[in-house]
Chain A
Amino acid sequence: MTRPAPRTRARMRTRRDALIWAALILLGATLAVLYVLAGREPLPLDEVAAVLRGETVPGTSFILLEDRAPRLVVGALAGAGFGASGALFQRWLGNPLASPDVIGVGYGASAAAIIAMVYFHAQGPLLTLTAMLGGLGIAGLIYWLSAGGKHAGAKLILAGLAIGGMLQSLIQYLLTRTDVRTAGEALRWLTGSLAPSTWERAAVMAIGLALVALLVPLVLKRLKIMELGDDAASALGLNVLASRMLLVFTAVTLTAIPVAVTGPLAFVAFLAGPLSAGLTRGVIRVPLAALIGAVLVLGANFIAANLFSGVALPVGVVTGIFGAPFLLWVLVRANSRGNGG
């Protein structure tokens, strides 16, 4: 048997990538449709069609347009943001554990958002901005704690785990200080939920993410050089420090914008990157990871709504339950390959 010529094989890979993209988009769409039409409290197809034609159907119109549709949009956007952010961090540090939800950047954004909401009654874009600043602040702190030396990557992850734990405690403390109504809403900062989705919030997210997405190609170009190691990158003429700042800013922003709305959806950022690498049998792909993140959240949303007949679980609980075993698997695999933490 002869090996296919390199050119042919490269083309084959491109075709396979296209197939993967198409399959994932189809899967996401299916999950969205299923969420609307099947499962608990399904909406009748004809009524949905009517609503989509612009007619007003009592009940169905409200449920579809004011609840389910914004949820799907916010969920997909959040998943994409988390997925891209996680993939950037993971590729930069060459370690799947280095995702913003594991290293505490997500909780940094959460904590800042809670403080802004509880003490300053912040809403909308201001809340998003605060979450972003919180995430960036924590990223800066972790970076400063681990800076220098050979094993900056491993140190950064360990410092991040510790900071993340502290932040969770801080969030819990903040929740005990708030009145019951606010606390109920603020609980989403711990578990993550799509319940607060509105069109307005979806719009804020969409605009924010779109702006940051403009930076992604620049970051990716530098990331390809940075991941060869600091010395090799410098030798290729890259300004390593500036590139690193740009990457951290982009990745943190990508995670902080969704956090301001949904809270941290556990493990979405962590899962998307390795899944993209697994599907293409190559390196972690940031755009693909964004798509996978969106599909993951849509899937979790469907499960959360239908797992138990009586209760609708917050989406973050579902991603947590299904993400944790994967984290264990990554740890075991990393351990056996000797490049863990």
Chain B
Amino acid sequence: MAQLQADSLTLAYDKVTIVDELSLEIPTGEVSIIVGANGCGKSTLLRALSRLLKPAGGQVLLNGADIHSRPAKEVARQLGLLPQTPNAPDGITVRELIGRGRYPHQGLFKRFSAEDEAAVARAMEMTGTTELAERAVDELSGGQRQRVWIAMALAQETELLLLDEPTTYLDVAHQLEVLDVISELNRTRGITVVIVLHDLNLAARYADHLVALKDGKIYAAGHPTEVVTEQTVKSVFGMPSRVIPDPVAGTPLVLPIGRHRVLRTETVLAARGIYRAEQNGATVVAEEEELVGAGVAVGSAGSPAGTGAASTFEPAPALGGVRPNLEHQSTLAFATTVLRCKQLAPNFRRITLTGSDLEHFGTNSHPLDMRIKLMLPPAGGQLPALVQQLRPQAGTDPETQGRWFLQWRELPDAERGYMRTYTVRDFRPAGHAKNSGTTPELDIDFVVHGHKVDGVFRGGPATEFCVNAAAGDDVLILGPNNQLNDADYGGIEFRPGNATRVLLAGDETAAPAICSILESLPSTVTGHALIEVPDSTDILGTTTRSGVSVQWLPRGTNAHGTLLSTALRQIVAIPAAGAVQTTAEPDDVDVDTQLLWETGEGSSGPFYAWIAGEAGTVKELRRYLVRDAGLDRKQVAFMGYWRAGRSEN
């Protein structure tokens, strides 16, 4: 039996390496199928295996000998190849074409022999093309034509048959027809088959041995059930998917998950004439009256553990003197510049910040509902040096620096400036597909509250900043140092654990966080997202590949939170009496003086809820979910982002 193997094969076109040091043994007498994304090198590999391409390094061994050390005709008697797009000459008949497969068996002056005739007849019989013998190849259907080509390769009478995407351009029935023919040849004649194939599901069904190629290297190889996993599909094709057993063949079946799932709510909204203002836009945040201390807020407003206060400052080594902030400050001050401002909707405005400081920003994970601090200088003044010296390149003494926040709090109002909390809507490092610049970009969505007095906009400092911001303005933010933080960063609260059903609810200030979370959710998660916004024009639309359905609730003249509360009650019903023991009344929190901030410590339950927004509303929802619906508080995060009638600080 003919044996084919590749030995640390390196293949290149014009010095561009396509396949790198690849070793592969083709199992004799089996069907091997090579899969991989476009440009992964699978066709190149097949060309090299069939002697069409001379390797830049390594070798292909046919029966133990370098395939290039032997004459082409001799190799062609042992190994047949059907290229991707062979060319059928105009007007040629099926028999003539198949007969050309005999070329390697013919001598210089030898005519077509009886042996050749017999080989052609056998090839036609095996592929079911005998009936077509005298027909012109151009008149045949795609499937018939492909069978004729396979017959030509069979007439070559080789023990090895290599096929490069034999099902391209065929409809599904013809794809199966072709693969069935090949499969039968393997079963009945014992021909060793190697196929390059696009379709993963067909590959899984027909392969005895599956090779997944990625960037010119073997990512996985083995029986299809071992190779075709969600992880392989994700890595090799960069595509999220579900893999289930094929109900027909029992082999793995890949169900791709597209990136743009049209949400049901969107259809409903469209029927009412409401369209999203921006393709990817999400929403709002915070306005001036925020209570939440986060990141650096050191629990000053009674923030419970878990808001990030505890992890804000690493225990400083007992070293005197100044050290670079990058090494020990888990929260840094980032000097940024406004790149662009975009009015997403009447009440929402997106500010995109950029700057080289941001190269040190982040948690090396999806930002989810990550909070950051916007540091605004006092009217007509500068931010105090205390804040400025937290920049990445600056240095501070780890010993004393931990106290900067308290020191800052004690500064007189006129010097201190303002600290306002927002959530990150999106963070795009340089090189991100949607960031064409050379420095990272940070999106913050603002809720615009306020009004014009004598033609001048009046509102809180953050709103005024947002409304008046123009490209080129400088702004300082506080956020995580990416050298010292990971996905467990305390400024991120969304901790669904293993939950597969989620409930996200909030008002406009929570909308950017909800939209950001939605973008991160994997396909395995289902549930609901409820977002209450001031007006129907503020509905912006979201993107998610998860099964979470999103509902926007335009408030109109309703009181803040009433629509949210009603919708949430429809989703989380009170269990029938006695079915579940409801929990007792939760501890009372006076939302006017205290921070309502209760975040579960990562539940292992199947359900997880994340509720944020105006503290009064959140408190009301908390009471309902915990007391009436009987949810375990570990499964829920309640966050009062702000309190009506009060401002942050």
Contact = CB atoms under 8 A, between A and B. Distances in A.
Interface residues of B, number: 37
A94 B88 CA distance: 9
B87 A6 contact: no
Nearest to A10: B134
Contacts of A229: 83, 85-87
A238 B77 CA distance: 12
Interface in B73-100: 73-77, 80-93, 95-97, 100
Contacts of A94: 87, 89-90
A277 interface: yes
B50 A9 contact: no
B103 A225 contact: yes
Nearest to B71: A237
Contacts, number: 81
A328 interface: no
B414 interface: no
A6 B89 CA distance: 21
A236 B100 contact: yes
Interface in A207-246: 224-225, 227-229, 231-232, 234-239
B633 interface: no
Contacts of B92: 282-283
Given A225-B100, A225-B103, A235 B80 contact: yes
Contacts of B133: 6
A281 interface: yes
A201 interface: no
Contacts of B96: 283
Contact of B83 (A9, A231, A237): A231
Nearest to A274: B90
A91 interface: yes
Contacts of A91: 89
Contact of A228 (B71, B75, B86, B134): B86
Contact of A236 (B47, B84, B103): B103
A6 B76 CA distance: 29
B72 A277 contact: no
Interface in B477-506: none
Contacts of B89: 91, 94, 227-228, 283
A228 B72 contact: no
- Find the residue from A225, A229, A281 having the highest chain B CB count within 10 A: A229
Nearest to B104: A237
A225 B72 CA distance: 14
A237 B91 contact: no
B51 interface: yes
B101 A236 contact: yes
B72 to A, nearest CB: 4
B156 interface: yes
A237 B100 contact: no
B65 to A, nearest CB: 16
Nearest to A150: B85
B386 interface: no
Contacts of B71: 237
B102 to A, nearest CB: 9
A236 B104 contact: yes
- B92, B101, B103: most-surrounded residue (chain A CB, <10 A): B103
A221 to B, nearest CB: 8
Contacts of B100: 224-225, 228, 236
Interface string A1-43: 0000010011000000000000000000000000000000000
A232 B90 contact: no
A224 B93 CA distance: 13
B470 interface: no
Contacts of B86: 228-229, 231-232
A206 to B, nearest CB: 25
B90 A283 contact: yes
Contacts of B77: 237
Interface string B155-191: 0100000000000000000000000000000000000
Given A6-B134, A277-B90, A282-B93, A234 B52 contact: yes
Contacts of B85: 229
- Which of under 10, 10 to 19, 20 to 34, or 35 or more describes the interface residues of A? 20 to 34
A278 B52 CA distance: 35
Interface string A169-189: 000000000000000000000
B138 to A, nearest CB: 10
A91 B89 CA distance: 8
B244 to A, nearest CB: 37
Contacts of A227: 87, 89
Contacts of A232: 81-83, 86-87
A281 B103 CA distance: 24
Given A9-B134, A10-B134, A282-B93, A235 B52 contact: yes
B91 A283 contact: yes
A235 B81 contact: yes
Contacts of B87: 94, 227-229, 232
Given A6-B134, A225-B103, A277-B90, A236 B156 contact: yes
Contacts of A10: 95, 134
Nearest to A229: B87
Contacts of A281: 91
A231 B101 contact: no
Given A6-B95, A94-B90, A283-B91, A238 B83 contact: no
**Most B CB within 10 A of own CB, among A9, A94, A234:** A234
Given A236-B104, A236-B156, A277 B91 contact: yes
Given A94-B87, A277-B90, A237 B134 contact: no
Contacts of B83: 229, 231-232, 235
A94 B137 CA distance: 15
Contact of A231 (B52, B76, B156): B52
Nearest to A225: B103
A6 B77 CA distance: 28
A234 B47 CA distance: 10
A238 B72 contact: yes
B101 A237 contact: no
A237 B90 contact: no
Contacts of B134: 6, 9-10
Q: Which of A225, A228, A229, A284 has the most CB of B within 10 A?
A: A228
Contacts of B88: 228
A235 B83 CA distance: 8
A282 B84 CA distance: 24
A6 B133 CA distance: 7
Contacts of B93: 282
A277 B138 CA distance: 14
A75 to B, nearest CB: 29
Contacts of A238: 72, 103
Nearest to A5: B134
B103 A237 contact: yes
Nearest to B74: A237
Interface string A275-289: 001000111100000
Interface in B126-158: 133-134, 136, 153, 156
Nearest to B153: A235
A236 B76 contact: yes
Nearest to A217: B109
Nearest to B79: A235
Nearest to B164: A231
Interface of A: 6, 9-10, 91, 94, 224-225, 227-229, 231-232, 234-239, 277, 281-284
17 contacts: A6-B95, A9-B134, A91-B89, A94-B90, A224-B100, A228-B86, A231-B52, A231-B83, A235-B80, A236-B156, A237-B104, A238-B72, A238-B103, A239-B72, A277-B90, A284-B90, A284-B91
Interface of B: 47, 50-52, 71-77, 80-93, 95-97, 100-101, 103-104, 133-134, 136, 153, 156
Closest 3 CB pairs of A and B: A237-B76, A231-B83, A237-B73
Given A91-B89, A232-B81, A237-B72, 11 more contacts: A228-B86, A228-B87, A228-B89, A229-B85, A229-B87, A231-B86, A232-B86, A235-B51, A236-B156, A237-B103, A282-B91
